Amino acid sequence: MITFDFINNSDIYSIIPLLKLLKNDVSEHTLKDRLDEMVKQNYQCIGIFDEEELIGVCGIWILTKYYIGKHIELDNVVLLPRYQNKGIGKELMSYIDDYARKIDCVANELNCYVNNEKARKFWEKEGYEIIAYHFQKKFS
């Protein structure tokens, strides 16, 4: 049975194997350091479980921005490949939408890599619209 639940901050490192599926070139040490800092900045993570097994995650930030108001920003959404295309992502989005409404959010937002066509199609089916470009400038 598939369930969704928030991961306790004390167990936050349990998501590292799933994060490595998204970006494998970041060391575990670096991921731990970043997760520690993210939790301090109110990062939360919803776990997707098959019985006791963690099979997916979706990070969330609760933010307020002038152009949209209070909303949830989804971050690092990943599901083990063997569980994909089974409707679990759709169930997760319903869970998150219900939670967002419960805490008086007016929207959800997310970033999606431009080369991830499969994810883009999923988000569009879920009612998300492309409204902006996401720019990044790294410092050496």
3-state secondary structure 29-85: HHHHHHHHHHHHCCCEEEEEEECCEEEEEEEEEEEEECCCEEEEEEEEEEECHHHCC
Q: Is 75 within the bounds of a domain? A: yes
Please give the tally of structural domains in the chain: 1
What value does the mean pLDDT take over residues 60-68?
97
Q: Which domain holds residue 114?
A: 2-125
Q: What's this model's pTM, rounded to 2 decimal places?
A: 0.93
Q: Is 91 within the bounds of a domain? A: yes
Q: Is 65 within the bounds of a domain? A: yes
pLDDT in tens, 67-120: 999 999 999 999 999 999 999 999 999 999 999 999 999 999 999 988 889 999
Q: Quote the pLDDT of residue 60.
A: 98
Q: Quote the pLDDT of residue 140.
A: 87
Q: Is 106 within the bounds of a domain? A: yes
